[in-house]
Amino acid sequence: MADEVGTELVVRTGADGSFSLWSAAFQEGFHSGRGALREARETFLAPSRLERFPPGSLVRVVEVCAGTGGNVALLLEACAARGLTLEWWGLELDRRPLALALASEAFRRPWQPSTLTALSELLARGHWHGEGATARLLWGDARQTMRDLPRALPGPVDLVWHDAFSPRRCPQLWTLEHLQATTAPLAPEGRWISYSAAAAVRDSLRQLGLHLVALEVAAPGEHPTGRTLWSGGTVASPSPLASDSPAGDRPAAQSLWRELSLMEREHLRSAAGEPYRDPDGTDDAATILARRSQAQRAALASGARGCSGAWRRRWGVERR
């Protein structure tokens, strides 16, 4: 049962018992039904493959939409357990998700006291320095803070965790321009990771010259929008991502990701692959959606893209 905590944010509990929120403004949950903690582990932490970094290494991470702080909490503890030094930058518009999370016993339960101190400092001061970790929260519209961030970065970024609301609800953070800004600081072996498998997002990343793989579905049928999934998300990198195991010792059944299937590659070439555009980084959702619809019509008329309805019928995919 959800508790009403304000006009816009409602506390929810995921299937794993972890704390989550639902946004009335965006009409979407912060996490999939499997739960915030499971999603953080399966969608973001696992494909980050922290074991790639020898103990003592510095790992730089940018999180787009830090929300409740659950992802950075997991990352802080995972890096500490591996003897890695973490430098984290979080981008977030709204202070309430982190404040609500810190006020919740259900949220606090899994985390060590030092992790909760870090989150409290981030909320109060926007930064935290601890043994082996530095974290900074940049409050504001991520389109702006992401453009300013490279000046503050001391070097390339190893991981970008992109955890915005879905492209249809929050297209501002999935435009070609914003994806370019978020992927530009990646190190050659860096990884941009998201739960989204949207064709428009994937084709934007492809147009930006990145290599893509599809995350396997961790929990079939579970997504903030309630849709059936064929992929659990996307990993993009400036370098090819041929295998999810540098050591090559994981059985195929445990693979975290795979090459994009023919169905997915055709999806990218359909009208659904038309990128969201926001040239100045200031447009609202309605303007960005209308601009994309116009571009889709033009692409269909010129034959540059195929009809996504035909693609759905060919592959037996239900309409969203």
Ligand X SMILES: C[S@@+](CC[C@H](N)C(=O)[O-])C[C@H]1O[C@@H](n2cnc3c(N)ncnc32)[C@H](O)[C@@H]1O
CB closer to ligand X out of 59 and 170:
170
What amino acid occupies position 103?
A: A
Check residue 117 and report its DSSP letter: H
Q: Please work out the total of residues on this chain that contact ligand X, with binding judged by CB under 6 A.
A: 21
What gap in Å lies between CA 146 and CA 181, rounded to an integer? 6
Query: Where do the DSSP E strands lie in 69-156?
Result: 85-92, 127-130, 133-139
Binding of ligand X at residue 30 (CB under 6 A)? Answer: yes
Binding of ligand X at residue 170 (CB under 6 A)? Answer: yes
DSSP 10-23: EEEE-TTS-EEEEE
Binding of ligand X at residue 142 (CB under 6 A)? Answer: yes
Sole window of 60-68, 78-86, 127-135, 225-233 interacting with ligand X (rule: CB under 6 A):
60-68
The residues, ordered by sequence, that sit 6+ positions from 73 with a Cβ below 8 Å of its Cβ are 110, 111, 115, 116, 118, 119
User: Which residues share a beta bridge with 29?
Assistant: 22
Binding of ligand X at residue 171 (CB under 6 A)? Answer: no
Start-to-end C-alpha separation, the chain: 27
Binding of ligand X at residue 43 (CB under 6 A)? Answer: no
Minimal distance, residue 43 CB to ligand X, in Å: 10
Binding of ligand X at residue 45 (CB under 6 A)? Answer: no
Query: What is the three-class DSSP state of 163?
Result: coil
Binding of ligand X at residue 77 (CB under 6 A)? Answer: no
Sole window of 86-94, 149-157, 232-240, 259-267 interacting with ligand X (rule: CB under 6 A):
86-94
Binding of ligand X at residue 71 (CB under 6 A)? Answer: yes
Binding site for ligand X (CB under 6 A): 30, 36, 65-68, 70-71, 91-94, 97, 141-142, 163-165, 170, 172-173
